[in-house]
Structure 1
Amino acid sequence: MDSTQLHVAIMSSPGIGHLIPVLVLGNRLATHHNIKITILTITTNSSSPEIEFLKKFNEKKTIQIIPVPSIDISHLIDSNTKLFTQLRILVREALPEIRSGIASMNHRLVALIVDIFGTQILPIAEEFNIPKYVFHPTNAWSLALFMYQQVLDQEIESEYVDLKQPLEIPGCKALRPDDVMDPMMDRSDQQYHEYLKLALEYTCFDGILTNTWEELEEETIKALRSNEKLRSVSRCPIYPIGPLRRTVDITEHDEVIHWLDKQNQKSILYVSFGSGGTLSSEQIIELAWGLELSQHKFVWVVRPPSDNGTDSAYLNSNENDTGGSLEYLPKGFLTRTKDMGLVVPMWAQQVEILSHLSVGGFISHCGWNSTIESLTSGVPMIAWPLHAEQKMNSTMLTEELGVAIRPMILPTKKLVKREEIQEMVRILMHTKEEKSIRENVKKLKLSAENALSEGGLSYNTMCEFVKNIRTS
């Protein structure tokens, strides 16, 4: 390490969906910009995918990782405590450990970067006089909503979901009441107040990095930088540095990849709802029948059903849970589809699967990690949002970018029946409509590559960020 090397700490919230983009960001800063990276990651008792990723990145020796032990918050929550609130509490309780980790570092930090749930670290950053930045791991549209939330809270008294007109965000696409994020759905719930605090904390940082790129969201990024109503809330610089995603790293004996190697190009539909998303028992049965009726080849990463909410598995995955006997699937489904599809319990190498030439479509929960991985692989989607900002992502993918189709009614509102699933698969994989969707996603794949290449807008923006922290 040379004496001029910069030292940056990045904090990750619990959950593989938060850890992956933080690791990718850290790795890019380390390998492309010669910055020494220390990542403080809050783990959970059941974070086997997180542990595997940490081991892999430790092997590469490009970044230092300090795991923050799991914090018991059982005495602070009950069965009604929403996931958003749980994550805020979990991070809040871990702050003393985070502070100790920062205090023990034997080098001066030129910047402290936190992810979306790490904004409560503000007092610690100020105590150590460290320039502080937020890494917003999703798109600019959701960032604009975050930034403007304090104004909406003052201007609107009723429940957002009861509004007859869309929520206006200056300079950006308006937000339909049906598409509001989960924490906005009930203003009397604790998670709404936690969400409002988080939105206010966002405006107190020295800059915001976001995992998107200019060509994808040109108008929204322009509004974040120059719209006076948005700038009156916060004038901190916005850095679109994406799309950041994991690189392909195929393990030698992965059975899914070997199966895909035997299939025709663009012939396989990949189905996955993320590391924490689950479906109800009834919806799993309808999805299974829809896939079978479509007579289309598929790879389905399936998790046991949850009738307690679609995000209930987020902090409760278990490394020993292999999906059980799959008895929750329709009787005879595995036998009838053995030559047609592959059912994978719990987890699969998603980036590697989406990058495979045989994969031609993706039924996705529209989490931003999965969205980025699909777009940068040139794979169109059937949008099936479950929670968080995924409804916003789904609207962007279908109505603005034209790279996805979706059910007539949101899956969070109504059961998606097998006949509609069968029809969506047919449209995505077989019809003329599919051709225009594929052309759109191909253009976005190319634009993403250009953004990150040397001299591209995202590459230049990252260089600007590094220059700013170097001189701060």
Structure 2
Amino acid sequence: MDSTQLHVAIFSSPGMGHLIPVLVLGNQLATHHNIKITILTITTNSSSPEIEFLKKKKNIEIIHVPSVDISHLIDSNTKVLTQLRLMVREALPGIRSVIASMNHRLDALIVDIFGTQILPIAQEFNIAKYVFHTTSAWALALFIYLQVLDQKTEGEYVDLKQPLEIPGCKALRPDDVVDPMMDRSDQQYHEYLKLTIEYTCFDGILINTWEDLEGETIKALRSNEKLQQGLKVPLPIYPIGPLRRTVEITERDEVIQWLDKQNYESILFVSFGSGGALSSQQMIELAWGLELSQQKFVWVVRPPSDGDPDNAYLKSNGSDTRGTFEYLPEGFLTRTKDMGLVVPMWANQVEILSHSSVGGFMSHCGWNSTVESLTNGVPMIAWPLHAEQKMNAAMLTEELGVAIRPAVLPTKKMVKREEIQGMVRILMDTKEGKSIREKAKKLKISAENALSEGGSSYNSMCELVKDIRTR
């Protein structure tokens, strides 16, 4: 095989949820395939732990594309996907300048889901181009089939009486459609449709999943002719996951030290991601539910958001209200001081989920968090909030059997303390919970096998590198 070093650029849209898998992919290609990686990112968060860690790698360069002002293009009703698309669109001249000024020719450009507008730049410089789909294969299948659904569906998807059929895949309940599909008259839906068209012009699609997890769906993506009606030509599919952050404990912080003192698999970790915020009333119900369950917990608390959840997502850094917690029930911290640990704003999720004392995860079901939970064999209480998280929750509960969830979606109805208490106890302290945990542990082993030498994802990554090299 040709031993000359490849040069690959990977683009990340704004937001830690997009940046993290891009950084992990870059690290994987640089470390295991000796590829020179340049990561392009529109982000102001240049001091994230992941970026700081990768800056020390000799094969990885990180370039921050100048951020852009889109305030004149949006109003208070502009949805998050539209805003992300506009940010990338406005940044295209800066991205082109960065690529044009590189002192070596790129062998390939990999973009995340919102970076597909970079396509003309890749074509101008005659660079092989790939999309990194950072969510599930099922979400990708819906995405690819959307052009067909758009033509044959009348009215709103959420008002349909029957599930949406996706050829070769699990059908999708109208309640679980992704956020951009919930209002077909909104600009966000039209941007989403454009995305699906842009996907079809790339040379291949990388997915952060693995064969054992979504075998039937991956098979459909590769060979189901009805599903591929959404593509101009069938594209190579590369399941290369589960890519997740590695545990890098340099010093044991307060949370890890507290976990060190707890019993094996006795702790429920509660976190809704960097962009997840609950309403004030829901936060009170959650606090009471945790307290009534009498199960130990670590809860990462962010200030409540009683406004638009999209704004909460985009302003996910929020105002840091460390130590105040005035929005929790009166006396909650005192009453639970021996039972739980309340952490303001942020905690080191990878280290927590990999700790032996953690036995469950109440999660928003973002795909990064889902992958981090599954690869540590930790079962979940699914609490979806944004984007494709309802799909992830449905897959985790109904197909994989590694999670339980509220009877009604938290985005539709307040989840009361009694139901929260019940879910926590089921997961942490019953035979049913033990069965769910055993299934999660089997998936952990399957994930390790997929990534090991000769495993399905390892081989898929090798195929990708081979394809880049022969173009």
Q: TM-score, normalised by structure 2?
A: 0.97
Offset of 1:313 from its aligned partner?
Answer: 2.8
Letter in 1 for 2:22: V
The answer to whether 1:380 aligns with 2:364 is no
Give distance in 1, aligned partners of 2:165 and 2:302: 37
Q: Which residue of 2 aligns with 1:426?
A: 425
Give distance in 2, aligned partners of 1:415 and 1:318: 25
**Segment of structure 1 superposing worse, 307-316 or 66-75:** 307-316
Q: Which of the numbers 145, 168, 176 marks the counterpart of 1:171?
A: 168
Indicate conservation of the 8 Å contact 1:180/1:391, yes or no.
Answer: yes
**Segment of structure 1 superposing worse, 210-219 or 67-76:** 67-76
Question: Residues 403-428 of structure 1: CA distance to partner in whole angstroms, max 9, x if unpaired?
Answer: 00000000000000000000000000
Indicate conservation of the 8 Å contact 1:303/1:323, yes or no.
Answer: no
Question: Residues 93-112 of structure 1: CA distance to partner in whole angstroms, max 9, x if unpaired?
Answer: 11111111111111111110
SS of residue matched to 1:114: strand
SS of residue matched to 1:204: coil
Change (3 A) 1:251 1:280: farther
SS of residue matched to 1:232: helix
Letter in 2 for 1:359: V
Indicate conservation of the 8 Å contact 1:14/1:41, yes or no.
Answer: yes
Q: Which residue of 1 aligns with 2:12?
A: 12
Give distance in 2, aligned partners of 1:195 and 1:326: 38
Give distance in 2, aligned partners of 1:176 and 1:317: 29
Question: Residues 33-76 of structure 1: CA distance to partner in whole angstroms, max 9, x if unpaired?
Answer: 000000000114xx36x644322210233410001122111111
Letter in 2 for 1:135: F
- RMSD, aligned CA: 1.3
Indicate conservation of the 8 Å contact 2:12/2:22, yes or no.
Answer: yes
**Segment of structure 1 superposing worse, 364-373 or 53-62:** 53-62
Indicate conservation of the 8 Å contact 1:362/1:380, yes or no.
Answer: yes
The answer to whether 1:154 aligns with 2:151 is yes
SS of residue matched to 2:314: coil
Indicate conservation of the 8 Å contact 1:278/1:311, yes or no.
Answer: no
SS of residue matched to 1:109: coil
Change (3 A) 1:291 1:311: farther
Percent identity between the two aligned chains: 81
Give distance in 1, aligned partners of 2:111 and 2:76: 28
Offset of 1:89 from its aligned partner?
Answer: 0.7
Question: Residues 303-325 of structure 1: CA distance to partner in whole angstroms, max 9, x if unpaired?
Answer: 00001133423322348624461
Letter in 2 for 1:308: G
Indicate conservation of the 8 Å contact 1:266/1:361, yes or no.
Answer: yes
Q: Which of the numbers 67, 89, 92 marks the counterpart of 1:95?
A: 92
Indicate conservation of the 8 Å contact 1:276/1:312, yes or no.
Answer: no
SS of residue matched to 1:313: helix
Give distance in 2, aligned partners of 1:309 and 1:340: 33
Q: Which residue of 2 aligns with 1:138?
A: 135
Give distance in 2, aligned partners of 1:93 and 1:443: 45
Change (3 A) 1:162 1:127: same
Letter in 2 for 1:191: Q
Indicate conservation of the 8 Å contact 2:79/2:310, yes or no.
Answer: no
SS of residue matched to 1:275: coil
Q: Which residue of 1 aligns with 2:37?
A: 37
Q: Which residue of 1 aligns with 2:357?
A: 358
Q: Which residue of 2 aligns with 1:233?
A: 230
Letter in 2 for 1:233: G
Question: Residues 303-353 of structure 1: CA distance to partner in whole angstroms, max 9, x if unpaired?
Answer: 000011334233223486244611011111111111110001111000000
SS of residue matched to 2:309: coil
Give distance in 1, aligned partners of 2:94 and 2:241: 30
1:207-356 pair list within 5 angstroms: 207-234=204-231, 235-318=234-317, 321-323=320-322, 325-356=324-355
Indicate conservation of the 8 Å contact 2:146/2:230, yes or no.
Answer: no
The answer to whether 1:112 aligns with 2:142 is no
Q: TM-score, normalised by structure 1?
A: 0.97
Offset of 1:248 from its aligned partner?
Answer: 0.3
Offset of 1:232 from its aligned partner?
Answer: 3.3
Give distance in 1, aligned partners of 2:260 and 2:321: 24
Question: Residues 361-402 of structure 1: CA distance to partner in whole angstroms, max 9, x if unpaired?
Answer: 000000000000000001000000001000000000000000
1:387-398 pair list within 5 angstroms: 387-398=386-397
Q: Which residue of 2 aligns with 1:183?
A: 180
Give distance in 2, aligned partners of 1:59 and 1:230: 43
Indicate conservation of the 8 Å contact 1:240/1:458, yes or no.
Answer: yes
Please list every run of 5 or more consecutive structure 1 residues that lacks an aligned counterpart in the other structure.
Answer: none
Runs of 4+ in structure 1 deviating by more than 4 angstroms, as ranges, are: none
